Amino acid sequence: MEKKWQDKWEKAKLFQADHDEREKVFLTVAYPYPSGAMHIGHGRTYTVPDVYARFKRMQGYNVLFPMGWHVTGAPVIGIASRIKDKDPWTLELYEKVHKVPKEELPKLEDPEYIVKYFSTEYHNVMSDMGYSIDWRREFRTTDPSYKKFIQWQIRKLKNMDLIRKGNHPVKYCPQCDNPVGDHDLLEGEGVAVNELTLLKFKVDRVGDDETSENELYLVPATFRPETIYGATNLWLNPDVEYIEVKSGAEGISGNGADVGRIDGNNGNNGERWIISKESYHNISNQIKDLKIMGDIDPKLLIGENIVNPVTKKLHPIFPASFVDPEYGTGSVFSVPGHAPADYIALQDLKDNKELIERYGLEDAVNSVEPLNVVTLKKYSGIPAKDVIERLQVKNQEDPKLEEATNELYKVEHSKGIISEHIPIYAGEKVAIARENIKQDMIRKNQASIMYDFAEHPVICRCGTKCVVKIMDNQWFLKYSDEDWKEKTRELLRNETIIPREVRSNLEYYIGWLEDWACSRRIGLGTHLPWDKQWLIEPLTDSTIYMSYYTIAKYLQNMNCEDLNDAFFEKIFFDKDNNANNNVDNNSNNNINEKLKVDQATINEIQNEFSYWYPLDWRLSAKDLVGNHLSFHMFHHAAIFPYESWPQGMVVFGMGLLEGNKMSSSKGNVILLSDAIKEYGADVVRLFLMSSAEPWQDFDWREKEVIGTKRRLDWFFEFAEKIENIKGSPLNLADIKRVDLTRKIDLWMMNQLYIRINDATNALDGFQTRKALQDCLFLLKKDVDHYMYRMKHIIEKTNNDGTEVDDDLVFVLSTILESWIRILAPFTPHSSEELWSKYGGEGFVSEAKWPITFQYFPMKCTPTLNLQTDSCIPSEVIEKSEEIVQSMVKDINEIKKIVDVEPDKIHVYLAPDWKWKLYSIAADVGKPDIGQIMGRAIGENIHDNKKEIAEFAKKISREMTKTRYIGKIDEYDILYDALDFISEETNAEIIVHKDDSYDPQNKARNAMPYKPAIFME
């Protein structure tokens, strides 16, 4: 059934959108990187825009929802080579998780084939999901014309002086031999690269030859170089493998942007350092020609001394198991006065007699006392001790230790002053002294710089541990440029962000982003036009491609080799002369004549672009906020004028599978194609859209998916039921209109209106879950209630062939007709099927979105006997049904309590003066009995003051629970529902207009909206 409708849509070219007179909606979602099969997590990402696109189309908008394939970058190269190498893990992943047929597997040795294979697969699965994509605009980022577009864009940025050359630390995979972005990682996404200061402590060994070649250094890394003045000892891990390395001639590769600061690093020249074997993996990518000289046994170093580079004091080397060989260079210098971890480690060591004895450390350990460096108000000279005692940290394993460390680190950084006894820097704020001390030490060759990840491990998709590498001659986008940042902030200020809290994240990232290494050595993609050894990396070639969709279908018919910058300038900015400097031959001032585009075609393409741009909505996942979505804003701000800046952004949450994070590489996924086979696309769509709002994390639980399937089945049954009640074929295109009079019919129509209205508002804000709550779950509850209320009529019709109740059939047909339409964005195939089966006109995908009262044919107001002008019809209708329902409920409860089966039930209504009293109370607006009484007596609403007082109290209580909506005709309401109430309570119901028959004096209890009851 689903395939049938997909074919029909395609044949009718339903989703091909071209510019016309209508208002437009242009939305795009991050194009996928097809290096594996599509799973249900992707399903949510691409269903949200489809639902919105279908919704807006039904509202009469011209909607463009395009799709492309992001095949740029290195990951597929790695995959291809691992398949070539017959790597068992990769083979299993592609055979079992991505379900590539055995005969196709060997073909994946070609990276181009991988992207071809999976983008075709993605295309097919997206079609199977019923996505309303305009496929004429489909492209891959390796298409020659896309490459021309990217070259134009990067050249434009370079001419705007937003690209520079330099050396820079980048995340790097040694195995792939390429810088890596978050997309290339198995683990460690979003982990920052930190700059650390290495402090050079010379090892002081008795009897050592004092020539400089034999000088050995331990070089612990720190964020707090100022604490060098408080160093007391050094920690080495006796269970870690250490090596001696010798730096080459050039020293650490400097950051081109900060030459002054790094200059001192040249002093590493020829130095010999002791570092952990693990850290060599990282640091060898930062210091050129770092040679391993041999192994070092840490046990032999323990108990030896090192020389403090600034104070020249000797400090002992102590053993410590907490030293992480992967962090920094695998050693730590100890500052027990200011580092709670060092303070407590020293305490632990003092208590560890066995260890002290093994290394003969008794004298050394006893001589170590914490030193003061920083003065802090409200802390003693040894702040580490204060924090540890206050938080009662027991030992190194105590989780409160981290809290202590964080507290002191923050306080010292923001409020600390370098103490009086420290030379040169005394009285300086810590934050300032830190940088000065670092620079001074680097200048004097007492320190160096290294880079490390803030957290470990960071693992490439190929399974290799990543490192921080200093890349030479790298190209950078200057996201640090303050003017560029400011322009981007302006773009953000004018953009709608859903959900709202993401705005502050985007603000943060715009400020935080540093220059971005935008070129790579290997991968698929576009070469830098002016430096062909480099490829443009994937986040950089996917920033403004939304504009490419608007023109993609025209480029397919051109010889893309002839595309030049002038063409793009003309289309996007209507510039006849390309203002760019000629960076290379490709950038001419005029559109290449060989392109053979006439003026009419140019106009047509320009119109298409200016019709669709600006982009109305950009949709993407939340892990892309700090990179792709920020870059997207940066590049639009730089390249396009204000009027072409993106208008809105929706950021998605992540997907869980039975409570666990979905991950292809860990095999914890369900392929979307499998889910479609098992449940059908509509059930999958309905589940994905109803289980969470787009920005929340959703959890695929099979049980709930099956529940969703039942809902959809129920819907088909409901349609059949209506036809049965009607007793003849339904024709939704020609519903026989009637003027409704029964309150319950009006109530049902009113509920339908409310649900449609709420769902419409929810969908306008991308709240797919709320929309479905309203228009599926709550509306179904309403319909169930209505069917229950009408059961005596339905049964009669079905049993004895009594004439069909036209009002009932009208209400039910109208519900069905609206319902099919409102569900069409969510379950398009089922909606089409029902629509055509029951006589709907054309495609439901093209039907009008149901709207408000104008749509309802009956004259609502006159039938309601409204008695005040301030009544809102909808509220009165709701209140009427509420009165009927609570009447049934009250009677049945009383029956249960008194345990009698009455024959007759008398109902008394509140007299006029009580309504007036309620109205006064509502006017007063608060339960102020004095004021209510005063006005009631002043207006002379009732003779009996005692009664007024009594009811003023009651009403004051009541008004906090029940909103006063004006006087309504309760007699009319109850009379209309007599059959139902009677049936539900199994008694005759008599509604009295006065209290002429009231043997037990019950009538006086009647309240507005709450009639009194007497049973006999």
- Residues at the site binding Zn ion, with contacts judged by CB under 5 A: 173, 175-176, 460, 462, 464
Beta carbon of residue 64, minimum distance to Zn ion (angstroms, whole number): 37
- Closer residue to Zn ion (CB): 522 or 778: 522
Q: Coil, strand, or helix at residue 325?
A: coil
Angstrom distance (rounded) from CA 336 to CA 369:
8
For the chain, the straight-line distance linking the first and the last C-alpha, in angstroms and rounded, comes to 59
- Enter the tokens of residue 674: 């499998």
Cβ at position 293, least distance to Zn ion in Å: 29
CA 22, CA 63: separation in Å to the nearest integer? Answer: 10
Report whether 835 contacts 716 (CB < 8 A): no
Which residue shows structure tokens 């009637």? Answer: 738
Nearer to Zn ion (CB atom), residue 464 or residue 956: 464
Closest approach, Cβ 520 to Zn ion, in A, equals 12
Which tokens go with 80? 């291809």
214: region left, alpha or beta (phi > 0 left; psi from -120 to 50 alpha) = alpha
Smallest separation, CB 180 to Zn ion (Å): 7
Cβ distance to Zn ion smaller for residue 74 or 649: 74
Nearer to Zn ion, 404 or 466 (CB): 466
Q: How do 193-199 and 221-222 pair as beta strands?
A: antiparallel
CB of 174 to Zn ion, least distance (A): 8
For Zn ion, the closer of residues 460 and 748 by Cβ is 460
Shortest approach of Zn ion to residue 178 CB, angstroms? Answer: 7
CA neighbours closer than 13 Å in the CB half-sphere of residue 688 = 32
Is residue 460 within 8 Å of residue 201, measured between CB atoms? no
In angstroms, give the least distance from the CB of 328 to Zn ion: 23
Q: Which C-beta is closer to Zn ion: that of 186 or that of 937? A: 186
Residue (of 229, 239, 244, 269) closest to 418 by Cα position: 229
CA-to-CA distance for 713 and 224, rounded, in angstroms? Answer: 65
Nearer to Zn ion, 471 or 866 (CB): 471
Q: CB 693 → Zn ion: shortest distance, Å?
A: 36
Q: Classify residue 947 as exposed, middle or buried by CB count within 10 Å of its CB (0-12, 13-18, 19+).
A: middle
Q: How far is the CB of 466 from Zn ion (least distance, A)?
A: 7
Residue type present at position 2:
E
Closer by beta carbon to Zn ion, 219 or else 460: 460
Q: Closer CB to Zn ion, residue 523 or residue 655?
A: 523
470 beta partners: 169
Q: Which is nearer to Zn ion, 247 or 519 (CB)?
A: 519
**Within 10 Å of residue 893's Cβ, how many Cβ atoms?**
10
Q: Where are the alpha helices (DSSP H) in 614-742?
A: 630-639, 672-679, 681-690, 702-726
3-state SS of 113-147? HHHHHHHHHHHHHHHHCCCCCCHHHCCECCCHHHH
**Please, which residue, 225 or 525, has the CB nearer to Zn ion?**
525
How many Å apart are CA 921 and CA 918, to the nearest integer?
Answer: 5
Three-state secondary structure of 526-561: CECCCCCCCEECCCHHHCCCHHHHHHHHHHCCCCHH
Question: Minimal CA–CA distance to 505: which of 769, 695, 775, 784?
Answer: 695
Contact 770, 848 (CB under 8 A): no
Q: Alpha-carbon distance 989 to 987, whole Å?
A: 6
Q: Is 773 exposed, middle or buried (0-12, 13-18, 19+ CB in 10 A)?
A: middle
Cβ-based neighbour number of residue 231 at 10 Å = 26
Q: Compute the least distance from the CB of residue 406 to Zn ion, in Å.
A: 33
Q: Whose Cβ is closer to Zn ion: residue 458's or residue 909's?
A: 458
Please state, in angstroms and as integers, the Cα–Cα distance from residue 986 to each residue in 888, 895, 1002, following that order. Answer: 10, 11, 21
Residue 175 CB, shortest distance to Zn ion, in Å, is 4
| CA 298/CA 331 separation, integer angstroms | 10
For residues 180 and 779, which CB has a smaller minimum distance to Zn ion in the complex?
A: 180
Closest to Zn ion by CB, 450 vs 458, is: 458
Beta bridge mates, 170: 469
Q: Which residues partner with 292 through β-bridges?
A: 245
Quote the least distance from Cβ 74 to Zn ion, whole Å.
8
For Zn ion, which is the closer residue by CB, 87 or 348? 87
Question: 3-class SS at 593?
Answer: helix
Q: How far is the CB of 73 from Zn ion (least distance, A)?
A: 12
Instruction: Indicate the residue among 173 and 430 with the shorter CB distance to Zn ion.
Output: 173
| Of 74 and 411, CB closest to Zn ion | 74
- Please, which residues have CB within 8 angstroms of residue 739's CB and are 6 or more apart in sequence? 857, 858, 859, 863
Q: Residue 77 or residue 560: which is nearer to Zn ion going by CB?
A: 77
Minimum CB distance to Zn ion, residue 521 (Å): 13
The encoded tokens of residue 398 equal: 């105590």
Minimum CB distance to Zn ion, residue 462 (Å): 3
- In angstroms, what is the minimal distance from the CB of 463 to Zn ion? 7
Residue 491 contacts residue 633 (beta carbons within 8 Å): yes
Element (H, E) at 222: strand 221-222
State the minimum distance, in angstroms, from the CB of residue 562 to Zn ion.
38
Q: How far is the CB of 32 from Zn ion (least distance, A)?
A: 21
